[in-house]
Amino acid sequence: MVQITIDGKKIDVPEGITILEAARRNGIYIPTLCFHPRLTYFGGCRLCIVEVKGFLRPVTACTTTVNKDMEVNTSTAELEELRKLILELILSDHPHDCMLCEKAGACTLQELAYTYGVDGFQFAGERRRYSKRDGNPFIERDLEKCILCGRCVKVCREIQGVEAIDFGYRGFKAKICTNFEEDLDCEFCGQCVQVCPTGALTGKLWARKGRQMSLREVETVCPYCGTGCNITVHVNRNEIAKVTAREDSWNEGWLCVKGRFGYRFANSPERLTVPLIRKVPRGEGAPEKVEDLFREATWEEALDLVASRLLEIKEAHGPDSIAGLSSARCTNEENYLFQKFIRAVVGTNNVDHCARL
């Protein structure tokens, strides 16, 4: 531990951490845009500049590690003026279309603009314009909203190991590019979408499904592989608007393409909505169309039919003539109850699930 002074307060912090970490641990707010706790340092947005005694110019809190007896000021009139200038510069090259933006209400840039009361018109000038839309089916890349914080580039390299994107061009024309600026063709994990602080990267599926204030968040577990990633399901009315992951969950906010973008089956029109009872015998020559195969039934009728047929068969051929196959996609409780039903009600150990497949 070393003792440092932040804004006149003496605090003890572990050696080797950054000024930003030290401040956050002690409840001192320093604005950031490019910093991300799960990624390596970048130091590009310059918003987290602080004054450190002995340094000629402000240093970035996110990249500077603490030293013994360091004296730090996080908020002086001069620093706030510089932050304001930086925000003005970012906003001077940013579309002012928050009213249409998917990220409105959850956008760090919007929040900071509000906090600092900055609109970016002071330095109005040329804005980057990109007309080509990325044709990939998963991720909307609106590079006019990109502030080049580099988070997406780093998450793609450091977490996903893919390196699908990198910085391209120089100066004002600098932008995040795919190889040869072709359409994004990657693992579509959407990690970049997760870490993007603005509306530059969003899910194509999210479009006009609802923004932050109209969404209800439900914490649950991904329905796909056995990793069991924690997900946050964002619901608008009775529809899933998007799926994200919390950065403080054990999976650290990371998901795969299925977990992040594979939720739409739940709202599919193909879903079964009523019990069905077979009209025609099985086997060769069964019709293709669903309505020729089945008729709709009430739950009462369907359940009665199942119960009575199972009882008949049990009576006629013994319980071991019946088998139950459960699913690895059902809950623990459902599986427990299913095997209890097969064992205790039907009376057989013919119960299994798809673990072997």
Partner 1 sequence: MENNVVIRVCMGPAGIAAGGRDVLERFREALASAGLDASVKEHCSSHQVGCLGLCARDVLVEVHTDGQKHTYQYVKPDMVERIVTEHIAGGKPVSEWLVDDSFDAFYEKQVKVVLSHCGVLDPEDIDDYIASGGYEAIGRILKKCLPEMVIDEIKASGLRGRGGAGFPTGLKWELAREAAGDRKYMICNADEGDPGAFMDRAVIEGNPHAVIEGMMIGAFSIGASKGYVYIRAEYPLAVERLKLAIAQARKKGLLGKAILGTKFSFDIEIKLGAGAFVCGEETALIASIEGERGMPRSKPPFPVNRGLWQCPTVINNVETLANIPYIMRKGASWFASYGTEKSRGTKVFALTGKIRNTGLIEVPMGITLREILYDIGGGTESGKEIKAVQTGGPSGGCIPASMFDLHVDYESLAKVGSIVGSGGMIVLDEDDCMVNMARYFIQFTQAESCGKCVPCRVGTKRVLEILDRITQGRGRPDDIAKLERLCKGIKSTSLCGLGQTAPNPVLSTLKYFREEYEAHIIDKKCPARVCKALLTYWILEETCTGCGACRRACPAEAISGEKKKPHRIDPEKCIRCGMCYEVCKFSSVERE
Partner 2 sequence: MAGLAAIFGSGAMTNSIREIEGMDAIFIIGSNTKESHPVIANRMIKALHRGARIVVADPRSVPMTRFAEVHLKMRPGTDVALLNGMAHVIVKEGLMNREFIEAATEGFEEWKRSIEEFTPEEVERITGVSRDDIIRAARIYGEARNAGIFYTMGITQHTCGLDNVKAIANLAILTGNIGRESTGVNPLRGQNNVQGASDAACLPNVFPGYQKVGLPEVQKKFEEAWGVKLPDSPGLTSTEMIIAAFEKRLKAMYIMGENPVVTDPNAHHTVKALETLDFLVVQDIFLTDTARLADVVLPAASAFEKEGTFTNTERKVQRVRKAIDSPGQARDDLSIIMELSRRMGYPMEYSSPRDVLREWGELWPPIQGITYERLEEEGLQWPCPDESHPGTPYLYKDGFPKGKVPFSPVSFNPPAETTDEDYPLVLTTGRNLFQYHSGTMTRQVEPIEAHCGTPYVEISPGDSRRLRIRDGAAIRIVSRRGAVTVSARITERVAEGTVFLPMHYREAAANLLTNDALDASVKIPELKVCAVRVEPVKRR
Closest CA to 191 of 218, 157, 225, 221: 157
Report the distance separating Cα 22 and Cα 345, nearest Å. Answer: 61
CB nearer to partner 2: pick between 126 and 270: 270
Q: Which of 205, 206, 242, 244 binds partner 2 (CB under 8 A)?
A: 205
> In DSSP terms, which residues pair with 3 in a beta bridge?
12
Stretch that binds partner 1, among 119-127, 237-245, 274-282, 347-355 (CB under 8 A): 119-127
Q: Which of 3, 123, 127, 228 binds partner 2 (CB under 8 A)?
A: 228
H/E element, 51: strand 49-52
Q: What are phi and psi of 23, to 5 degrees?
A: -65, -45
Q: What are phi and psi of 46, to 5 degrees?
A: 70, 10
Q: Which of 138, 147, 164, 196 binds partner 2 (CB under 8 A)?
A: 138
Q: Measured from the CB of residue 45, what is the shortest distance to partner 1 in angstroms?
A: 6
Q: Which does 220 bind (CB under 5 to 8 A by kind): partner 2, partner 1, none?
A: partner 2
Q: Which of 26, 75, 178, 335 binds partner 2 (CB under 8 A)?
A: 335
Asked whether position 182 contacts partner 2 by CB under 8 A, the answer is no
Report the distance separating Cα 336 and Cα 48, nearest Å. Answer: 53
CB 5, CB 71: distance < 8 Å: yes
Tokens of 201: 């990267």
Q: Which of 8, 54, 226, 285 binds partner 2 (CB under 8 A)?
A: 226
201-203 and 9-13 as β-strands: parallel, antiparallel, unpaired?
A: unpaired
CB 215, CB 271: distance < 8 Å: no
Q: Which of 1, 56, 77, 290 binds partner 2 (CB under 8 A)?
A: 290
H/E element, 158: none
Closest CA to 63 of 33, 11, 19, 6: 19
H/E element, 290: helix 290-293
Asked whether position 65 contacts partner 1 by CB under 8 A, the answer is yes
Q: Which amino acid is present at 99?
A: M
Asked whether position 14 contacts partner 2 by CB under 8 A, the answer is no
Q: Which of 172, 217, 266, 286 binds partner 1 (CB under 8 A)?
A: 172
Binding track over 66-85 against partner 1, x by CB under 8 A: ----------------x--x
CB nearer to partner 1: pick between 90 and 139: 90
CB nearer to partner 2: pick between 99 and 357: 357
Closest CA to 138 of 247, 258, 218, 239: 258
CB nearer to partner 2: pick between 122 and 227: 227
Binding track over 230-269 against partner 2, x by CB under 8 A: x--x-x--xxx---------xx--xxxxxx-xxxxxxxx-
Q: Cβ atoms within 10 A of the Cβ of 63, count?
A: 16
Q: Measured from the CB of residue 154, what is the shortest distance to partner 2 in angstroms?
A: 12
- Return the residues of window 264-303 that contact partner 1 according to CB under 8 A: none
Q: Which of 55, 123, 227, 291 binds partner 2 (CB under 8 A)?
A: 227
Going from the C-alpha of 294 to that of each of 111, 274, 289, the distances in angstroms are: 55, 11, 9
At residue 120, the 3 state secondary structure works out as coil
Q: Which does 63 bind (CB under 5 to 8 A by kind): partner 1, partner 2, none?
A: partner 1
Tokens of 315: 């009576």
Q: For binding to partner 1 (CB under 8 A), which residues are involved?
A: 41-46, 49, 57-58, 60, 63-65, 82, 85-86, 89-90, 92-93, 122-123, 125-126, 147-148, 150, 166-167, 169-175
